[in-house]
Amino acid sequence: MRSRCGNLKLKRRKAFVVDEQVWKVLVKTTRPVGAYQIANMIPPIAASQVYRSLERLVSTGKARRIAARNAYVAASPKTDVVVICRKCGEFELLECPDAIEGLGRHCDQRGFQIGQIFLEMTGSCRTCRE
């Protein structure tokens, strides 16, 4: 099917199919990836479909948005911290329940109610330091 401009129209896909495809890309990658990168890995798919899928995956805890990179990674709901190498982009997801509880108590003592805590740290991985 062609649009008025002569470009091929993208076939509409079911949300769960797109979510599964996006999830597979996130699981396979070793670096945070952006929506346009993901769209290029799953042709033909529009970036807007990828963004909607990423929103759903983030809301269920299956993915995390990395603000420092404007990119996404696969994650578990228990993930508290992401550490990212500035040089190569490799990342690691960490569970740090004691640190998160400490931050929560600290905020409670000051009367601040927390909705969510997710920390991002950048630095150099072992390989890049050697």
pLDDT per residue as tens digits for the range 28-52? 998 899 999 999 999 888 999 999 9
Is the pLDDT at 5 greater than 60? The verdict is no
Where in the chain is CATH 3.30.1490.190? 78-130
Q: What is the pLDDT of residue 9?
A: 53
For 79-121, how does the pLDDT look when each residue is reduced to its tens digit (9 = 90+)? 888 899 999 988 888 988 898 899 999 999 999 998 877 789 9
Is the model's pTM score more than 0.85? no
| Segment holding 72, helix H or strand E | strand 71-74
Triad 32, 34, 40: Cα angle to 5°: 115
φ, ψ for residue 22, nearest 5 deg: -65, -45
Residues 21-34 have a mean pLDDT of 94
Mean pLDDT score of the chain, rounded to an integer?
87
Architecture of domain 1-76: Orthogonal Bundle (1.10)
Where in the chain is CATH 1.10.10.10? 1-76
For 55-88, how does the pLDDT look when each residue is reduced to its tens digit (9 = 90+)? 999 999 899 999 888 999 998 777 888 899 999 9
Please state the CATH superfamily assignment of the domain spanning residues 78-130 in this structure. Ferric-uptake regulator, C-terminal dimerisarion domain (3.30.1490.190)
Burial 20-41 (b: 16+ CB within 10 A, else e): ebbbebbeebeebbbbebbbeb
Write the secondary structure of 2-26 as one string of H (helix), E (strand) and C (coil). Answer: ECCCCCECCCCCCHHHHHHHHHHHH
